[in-house]
Amino acid sequence: MLGFSPNLFWERRKTVFSKLDETVLVLTSGSIRNKSRDTEIPFRPDSDFFYLTGVCEPDSVAVLRPNGSDGDLILFIPSRDLDKERWTGQRMGLEGFKEEYGAVAVYGRHQLEEYFPSLITNTDKIHFRIGSDQRVQDLIFASLKATRLYKPRGEKGLQGVLDPGCILDEMRLFKDDEELDRIRRATQITSESFCEMLKYCSPGTGEWELAAALEFGFRKRGASGTAYPTIVGSGSNSCVLHYSDNSRRMEAGDLVLVDGGAEVDLYAGDITRTFPVSGSFTPPQKAVYEVVQRAHRSAIDEVAPGAVLDSIHRVAVSQLVEGLLDLGVLEGSAEEIIDKRAYKKFFPHQTSHWLGLDVHDVGDYFVGDQSRTLQPGMVLTVEPGLYFPRLSEDVEEFCGIGIRIEDDVVVTEEGSELLGLSLPVSTGDVESLLEDQK
Ligand code: GLY
Ligand code: MN
Ligand code: MN
């Protein structure tokens, strides 16, 4: 349960039961995957499964079934295997799961084929993520087929499958206090680790060394690890948006873009800063950096309840376009450049995404064709950037420069809360921080 109060999961299930309307919701935790032969990748439960159960076991299935005005949670969990426990540690028995997680019944995973079909007989629709678990999917598909072939007249049979996201995405978009506490810790740990990492930021150091220093900081401060593969892109690697090879040695005069996030109790932080490897920005680097900095500031200032998500992006784009015109990178009128999206060559991504259990968290960005209005409890990133990959020969002076500045923001009743330790943003402050860490 990772320290969350059991009541929290119960309350969430209550909300789900009120929306199920006679349908059943089935979630699976996911399986352990292998790194090579018999060596395993550390397991992380599926975010939806954890959100409603608090269970972190692999190969588990949760069935949420309405029952009168309330509903039941039924779990299928791998049974204990004492031989295996000698290698991988002791596990809780099925009875323990029943008590701790508030399930009305807990079966062994090996009993899935025996009991699961009876749990879905009285529903005509089921919420299940296609592709999430082959064994469960086979049972559901068999039930769909049986309805079509053999359903007795007057009885309900399973007729359709819906994605659980249609209930859960909207719930997960609004973070409660316990979730905000984890996201605050994740961003705090991330920003502290960024500062500490900088003592290794110098010419000759490998990108992988910076990544290792950052991730050591995460673990040292109690995070379980990274929320996503750390990006350390120096030189023109800074222009590769999700670069994660981290295999180049940094050189004097380079910029290095570091995008990293600690994971705390499965919740993500997501912060980016761009540093001059030698300690100070060259004039072209500084010129581009200051444009991104203005976009970052203006976009963060825009975050407030009632603001439209798209307006945050528009503010960032307008600052970036103005800057690109001043730099002589683009020509013409700002309106036309924005209309034709000519800036996309240098700013190809959006300014924000939701943040939570998943780094690119769930939740609609539009309601119908209208951009979403921000409400308290939503958490989003603000991450404008400008990138001049080597192919942009038309802007020789800036070739190889990639700059992104990213922070995480909670929408509050009064306005917004900037998360993390307010890492330096301005060129002067970044240079001083680099100097201090030497
Ligand atoms: N770290 C991935 C992103 O910023 O979206
Ligand atoms: Mn990021
Ligand atoms: Mn991000």
Q: What is the mean pLDDT of residues 128-156?
A: 93
pLDDT score recorded for residue 156: 82
pLDDT score recorded for residue 395: 86
Structure tokens at 152: 């007795």
Cα–Cα distances (Å) from 97 to 1, 19, 25, 91, 94, in that order, read 11, 25, 19, 10, 5
> Rounded to whole angstroms, how far apart are CA atoms 408 and 391?
31
Q: What is the mean pLDDT of residues 355-370?
A: 98
**Contact call for residues 382 and 354 (beta carbons, < 8 A):** no
**Angle at CA 156, nearest 5°, toward 154 and 162?**
150
Instruction: Please tell me the distance between residue 339's alpha carbon and the centre of ligand 2 in angstroms.
Output: 27
Closest Cα to atom 4, ligand 1: which residue? Answer: 270
Q: How many CB atoms lie within 10 A of CB 98?
A: 18
Catalytic residue chosen out of the listed positions 38, 83, 95, 413: 38
> Is the model's pLDDT at 401 over the cut of 70?
yes
Q: What is the mean pLDDT of residues 129-141?
A: 97
**185 compared with 150, residue with greater pLDDT:** 185
Indicate if 242 belongs to the active site: yes
> Is the model's pLDDT at 68 over the cut of 90?
no
C-beta 270 within 6 A of ligand 1: yes
Indicate if 361 belongs to the active site: no
* The amino acid at 186: A
> pLDDT tier at 121 (50, 70, 90 boundaries)?
confident
Q: Nearest bound ligand to CA 242?
A: 1
Its pTM surpasses 0.95: yes
Task: Kindly give the interhelix angle for 427-436 and 283-302, rounded to the nearest 10 degrees.
Answer: 110
pLDDT score recorded for residue 393: 64
Q: What is the pLDDT of residues 277-306, one digit of tens each?
A: 999 999 999 999 999 999 999 999 999 999
Kind plus residue range of the DSSP H or E element containing 231: strand 231-234
> Is the model's pLDDT at 392 over the cut of 70?
no
Catalytic residue chosen out of the listed positions 46, 259, 263, 407: 259
Across 92-101, 172-181, 237-246, least confident range: 92-101
C-beta 228 within 6 A of ligand 1: yes
> Rounded to whole angstroms, how far apart are CA atoms 434 and 199?
7
Cα–Cα distances (Å) from 109 to 61, 143, 332, 384, in that order, read 8, 19, 64, 46
**Contact call for residues 123 and 21 (beta carbons, < 8 A):** no
Indicate if 127 belongs to the active site: no
Q: Say which residues have a Cβ less than 8 Å from residue 423's Cβ, sequence separation at least 6.
A: 191, 194, 195, 271, 273, 407
Catalytic residue chosen out of the listed positions 33, 110, 148, 242: 242
Indicate if 406 belongs to the active site: yes
